[in-house]
Amino acid sequence: MGEEQVRVRVEALAPVYEAQAAAWAARLGLPLDGEAEFALQLGDDGLQLAELGPQAPGPVRVDFVEGATAHRRKFGGGSGQMIAKAVGVQSGIRPRVLDATAGLGRDAFVLATLGCELTLIERQPLVAALLEDGLARAAGDFEVGPIVARMRLLGGNAIERMKGWEGEAPQVIYLDPMFPHRDKSALVKKEMRLFRPLVGDDLDAPALLEAALALATHRVVVKRPRKAPIIEGPKPGYSLDGKSSRYDIYPLKKLQA
pLDDT at residue 12 tops 60: yes
State yes or no: 123 annotated in a binding site: yes
State yes or no: 122 annotated in a binding site: yes
Quote the percentage of the chain above a pLDDT of 90. 74
Given a contact cutoff of 8 angstroms between Cβ atoms, the answer to whether 173 and 221 are in contact is: yes
Which range among 46-55, 65-74, 207-216, 218-227 shows the weakest confidence by mean pLDDT? 65-74
In the prediction, which pLDDT does 157 show?
94
Q: Compute how many other C-beta atoms are within 10 angstroms of the C-beta atom of residue 6.
A: 14
Encode pLDDT of 36-87 as tens digits: 999 999 999 999 999 998 888 889 999 999 877 776 777 666 778 899 999 9
Beta strands 151-155; 238-241: pairing state = unpaired
In the prediction, which pLDDT does 118 show?
98
**pTM attached to this predicted model:** 0.91
CA angle at 148 for the pair 72 and 145, rounded to the nearest 5° = 95
Q: What is the DSSP letter of 233?
A: S
Encode pLDDT of 115-174 as tens digits: 999 999 999 999 999 999 999 999 999 999 999 999 999 999 999 999 999 999 999 999
Given a contact cutoff of 8 angstroms between Cβ atoms, the answer to whether 150 and 117 are in contact is: yes
Q: In Å, how far are 150, 166, 181 from 185, measured between CA atoms?
A: 28, 38, 10
Average pLDDT over residues 206-215: 96
Under CATH, which number does the domain 67-251 receive? 3.40.50.150
- Nearest in space to 210 (alpha carbons), one of 247, 245, 158: 158
CA atoms of 123 and 77, how far apart (whole Å) = 30
Tell me the residue type at 229.
P
CA atoms of 102 and 76, how far apart (whole Å) = 19
State yes or no: 248 annotated in a binding site: no
In the prediction, which pLDDT does 200 show?
65
Helices within the chain (DSSP H only): 18-28, 67-75, 82-87, 106-113, 125-139, 145-148, 158-163, 186-199, 205-215
Domain with CATH 3.40.50.150 in the chain: 67-251
pLDDT at residue 226 tops 80: yes
